[in-house]
């Protein structure tokens, strides 16, 4: 990645986000933390929209979002044109989201998956390239230019 990875969480994902930052440090992946800065309550859509707007505008290539289930973050992020947020609960889903769907945002559930599994998911997601080929045309159809979507 040419630009830093973005990472953000709400209060429910704060603990896992902090662990994932240590994983990124160990992998020498540069990142920018958009918060939360503690386990104090914060609304997940605010964090998801902040990260997704930067990815959607091309100011970041990829991002990671963590909330209680990961689902709310993924739903909010996917409202942004150019964002393909994937909720992953295992390594295979993470791999396929990159390989087939060119996911540029990973959503994780801090209350649903253990931290060791989240670490493995993150590593697979970061290391898996987009396969292109027959998948490229399908990815274009996710967010067609000029469509009435969004």
Q: Identify the domain containing residue 106 by its residue range.
A: 5-142
The residue annotated as part of the active site, out of 49, 100, 115, 135, is: 100
Beta bridge partners of 32: 6
For the chain, the average pLDDT equals: 95
In a domain, 88, yes or no: yes
- Structure confidence by residue, pLDDT tens digits, 114-134: 999 999 999 999 999 999 999
pLDDT at position 146: 54
CA distance 15 to 21: 10
In a domain, 150, yes or no: no
Residue 47 has pLDDT above 80, yes or no: yes
The residue annotated as part of the active site, out of 49, 67, 80, 115, is: 67
In a domain, 47, yes or no: yes
Residue 145 has pLDDT above 80, yes or no: no
In a domain, 27, yes or no: yes
Contacts of 56 (CB under 8 A, 6+ apart): 80, 81, 82, 83
How many domains would you assign to the chain?
A: 1
In a domain, 149, yes or no: no
> Residue 26 maps to which CATH number?
3.40.1400.10
* Catalytic-residue membership of 100: yes
In a domain, 148, yes or no: no
Overall average pLDDT of the 58-66 stretch = 97
Instruction: Check: CB of residue 141 under 8 Å from CB of residue 83.
Output: no
């Amino acid at each position: 990645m040419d630009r830093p990875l973005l990472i953000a969480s709400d209060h429910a994902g704060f603990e896992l986000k902090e662990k994932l930052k240590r994983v990124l440090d160990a992998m020498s992946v540069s990142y920018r933390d958009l918060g939360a800065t503690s386990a104090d309550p914060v609304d997940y859509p605010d964090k998801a929209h902040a990260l997704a707007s930067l990815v959607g505008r091309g100011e970041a290539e990829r991002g990671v979002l963590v909330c209680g289930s990961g689902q709310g973050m993924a739903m909010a992020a996917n409202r942004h044109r150019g964002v393909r947020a994937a909720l992953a609960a295992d390594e295979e889903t993470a791999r396929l989201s990159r390989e087939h769907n060119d996911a540029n945002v990973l959503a994780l559930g801090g209350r649903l998956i253990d931290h060791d599994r989240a670490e493995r998911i993150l590593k697979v997601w970061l290391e898996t390239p987009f396969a292109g080929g027959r998948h490229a045309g399908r990815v274009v159809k996710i967010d067609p230019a000029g469509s009435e979507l969004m």
